[in-house]
Amino acid sequence: MKIAVVCHPTYGGSGVVATELAQGLARSGHEVHLVSYERPFRYDPLQPDIYYHQVDVSDYPLFRHPPYSLNLTNKLVELVEERGVEVVHSHYAIPHAQAAWMAREVLQEERGLDVKLACTLHGTDITLVGLQHSFFKLTRFTIQRQDLLTAPSAWLACETARDFHVDEERIHVIPNFVDLERFQPKPSDDIRRRLGAADRFVITHVSNFRPVKRVRDVVSGFANLRGGTEAVLVLVGDGPELDPAVELAQELGVRDDLRILGKMNDLEKILQASDLFFLPSRAESFGLAALEAQACGVPVIGYRTGGLPEVVVDGETGVLCPEGQDVCLGSIASDVLGDPTRHAAMRRAARRNAERFALVPVLRRYEEALRCLVSGLDPADVLRKAPA
């Protein structure tokens, strides 16, 4: 197949899933065109058979806001006309589902070509941004017109069906996936030493530090560790909530226990050195970071919201507290870390749980669904049969 995969290049789960899927499809022999306005951060330019197309964003002085969606649409039209792309797979609806739909209109009208459209909804495109009045109607219209819609969790599929009036049967749940070779438990005394935690526990949070991640709860939860639990809090990633989180750490007297590492490519090294992972988001459609942590044998402490209960088995591979109860995050973390037998059992269960989301089987589900589209068949038939 000839597939265009469109994504945001920024530090975040949708870009990771899109890039790793594009690379996997290319390894399976498909011609894949990865399209974005910057090189996605997990993209490996040395991999053969994958073509990266950077969309030129018009900077004419008349435009205070460059019309990126139009440049992207034009690029997709070109890819179909010149490279014979058969299916456009958008990751994160806004503005990709709109651009793909416009490109198809142009191609049908001008050339009589029928490119297929697939869209993977990722989270805030549905739960936050797409619901904004200024986006809602166009988002609803264009997602309703995709030939294939997928969501990483049953929870997000349900939210989409309810808020965007899409028949829930039409939204197929294909979970996020993890490279179990890269993300695996490994002894990491050296990294622990470098974190100043040779004889302390390591609690880690990874995100793009946006309000939905509730990073202040990560810090207050950490500050609520009960007496005797000696730990450092490692923060990986960057975004608007980082500074307020550091200020809160200062106020709560735990600033010296923070290790602020910024954005990292070799995230697995930090996860392998971690004892617990904190992810108390307001609503996480899936929580790819929680999956990568579990693959490294790191139990997850978070809130029982969104799709996280589909990824973390409460009480076995981590603990999910009632939403907003940051005190619970700290006390549960102290309980787990204070009980080496329970902690070791959770570590093993976390790895086993992550094995349900291995890269290759998930990749095959996407591949079969896209193949159906291109052959004019209904992807629902193969997706219904495939294992959950």
Footprint on this chain of ligand GMT (rule: CB under 6 A)? 8, 12-15, 17, 92, 122-125, 152, 176, 208, 212, 281, 284-288
Write down the least CB distance from residue 300 to ligand GMT, Å. 12
Nearer to ligand GMT, 14 or 220 (CB): 14
CB of 238 to ligand GMT, least distance (A): 12
Q: Write the DSSP assignment of 177-207 as a string of letters.
A: -B-TTTS-----HHHHHHTT-TTSEEEEEES
Cβ closer to ligand GMT: 92 or 164? 92
Residue with tokens 């996480």: 284
Nearer residue to ligand GMT within complex by CB, 127 or 334: 127
- The secondary element (H helix, E strand) that includes residue 3 is strand 2-6
Enter the DSSP assignment of 253.
Answer: T
User: Between vectors from CA 215 to CA 212 and to CA 217, what angle results, nearest 5°?
Assistant: 105
Q: How far is the CB of 356 from ligand GMT (least distance, A)?
A: 15
Those residues with Cβ within 8 angstroms of residue 150's Cβ, 6 or more apart along the chain or in another chain: 118, 119, 120, 121, 171, 172, 173, 174, 366, 369
Angle at 103 between CA 100 and CA 104, to 5 degrees: 90
Q: What gap in Å lies between CA 382 and CA 388, rounded to an integer?
A: 12
CA separation for the pair 23, 37 (Å, rounded)? 18
Q: Shortest distance, CB of residue 40 to ligand GMT, whole angstroms?
A: 10
Q: How far is the CB of 208 from ligand GMT (least distance, A)?
A: 5
Both structure tokens of 164: 């965007």
Nearer to ligand GMT, 151 or 374 (CB): 151
- Nearer CB in complex with ligand GMT: 101/357: 357
State the minimum distance, in angstroms, from the CB of residue 288 to ligand GMT.
Answer: 4
CB of 151 to ligand GMT, least distance (A): 9
Output DSSP code: residue 355: G
Which is closer to ligand GMT, CB of 13 or CB of 221?
Answer: 13
Q: How far is the C-alpha of 105 from the C-alpha of 142, rounded, in Å?
A: 12
| Nearer to ligand GMT among residue 90 and residue 281 (C-beta) | 281
Half-sphere exposure of 253 (CA within 13 A, CB side): 2
Helix (H) or strand (E) holding 72: helix 68-83
